[in-house]
Amino acid sequence: MQKDLGNYRKIYAKSELEEKSISDNPIELFQKWFYETEASDGIDEPNAMTVSTIGLDGFPKSRVVLLKKYTHEGFIFYTNYDSEKGKAIEENPNVCVSFFWPNMERQIIIKGKAEKVAANLSDGYFESRPDGSKLGAIVSNQSSVIPSRSVLEEKLKNLEKEYESKEIHRPNNWGGYIVKPISVEFWQGRPNRLHDRIRYTLVGIDWKIERLAP
Ligand SMILES: Cc1cc2nc3c(=O)[nH]c(=O)nc-3n(C[C@H](O)[C@H](O)[C@H](O)COP(=O)(O)O)c2cc1C
């Protein structure tokens, strides 16, 4: 079976990225682009991002997670610390995070170091989740091999009974990571494949800004 996709071709012409109209700080440009994506109404989950880690097997692995907060310090997502990504980060905190917002013809690629957020921050976020999501986090030994779906459903049923009138606390192996960026690249599609690529690189406490060839 095969399919040739050579004719898939799109003209990118929605916007441009000029040095004269960007801020000195990539988080501010990230925020501008994030707001524009939210307002565009063309993306279901603008906060969905791909996180790539270097696995214990030496291979990179990418998966989608949800950005739950960003600050000048970095980008925060929540997960299971014992998952495949958790074990990878424990061994090698260097990660890559990327966003692709097709309706905006934009991509952002962030390289950085992931570290666990403070326990009280994870507690606060866990607390804000609906009970079903809280129990889901407890039920699932994320990334482990399981014999069947029914094992999970059975476990959830039992937990629902157990926690009927009890407070659900965050398990220790579930919490947030903050990715502290060392470089942030903004890609804006342009006609004739002459796309704009602007990369911010952290040098000391300042950001160096460079244009990259598309
Ligand atoms: C739209 C979307 C959002 C997701 N959000 C999260 C998330 O915030 N946290 C998480 O741990 N997994 C999330 N997942 C599941 C991950 O992609 C992945 O299956 C899971 O984290 C296990 O990855 P790992 O085995 O590589 O550690 C999401 C998946 C999708 C498609």
Domains of the chain as residue ranges with CATH:
19-128+172-211 (2.30.110.10)
Is the Cβ atom of 65 under 6 angstroms away from ligand 1?
Answer: yes
Clarify whether 129 is annotated catalytic: no
Ligand 1 midpoint to CA 201 (Å): 28
Mean predicted confidence (pLDDT) in 80-91: 98
Ligand 1 midpoint to CA 64 (Å): 5
CB 8 within 8 A of CB 48: no
User: Rounded distance, CA 83 to CA 182, Å?
Assistant: 24
Ligand 1 midpoint to CA 86 (Å): 11
* pTM for the model: 0.97
- Residue 45's pLDDT band (cuts 50, 70, 90): very high
Q: What are phi and psi of 17, to 5 degrees?
A: -130, 105
User: Rounded distance, CA 203 to CA 197, Å?
Assistant: 19
pLDDT tens per residue, range 128-187: 999 999 999 999 999 999 999 999 999 999 999 999 989 999 999 999 999 999 999 999
Q: Which atom of ligand 1 is nearest to the CA of 66?
A: 8
52, two tokens: 């790539």
> Mean pLDDT score of the chain, rounded to an integer?
97
User: Rounded distance, CA 159 to CA 155, Å?
Assistant: 6
Is the Cβ atom of 85 under 6 angstroms away from ligand 1?
Answer: yes
Is the Cβ atom of 64 under 6 angstroms away from ligand 1?
Answer: yes
- DSSP state at residue 21: G
Residue-level pLDDT at 151: 96
Residue-level pLDDT at 69: 98
Residue 164 amino acid letter: E
Is the Cβ atom of 53 under 6 angstroms away from ligand 1?
Answer: no
Q: What are phi and psi of 212, to 5 degrees?
A: -110, 145
Residue-level pLDDT at 124: 98
Is the Cβ atom of 79 under 6 angstroms away from ligand 1?
Answer: yes
Phi-psi region of 172 (alpha: psi -120 to 50; beta: other; left: phi over 0): alpha
Residue-level pLDDT at 39: 97
Q: Which atom of ligand 1 is nearest to the CA of 48?
A: 1
Residues in the chain, how many?
Answer: 214
User: Rounded distance, CA 4 to CA 66, Å?
Assistant: 33
Ligand 1 midpoint to CA 19 (Å): 35
113, two tokens: 């170091």
- Residue 119's pLDDT band (cuts 50, 70, 90): very high
143 beta partners: none
Mean predicted confidence (pLDDT) in 186-210: 97
Which one is catalytic: 63, 129, 193, 199? 193
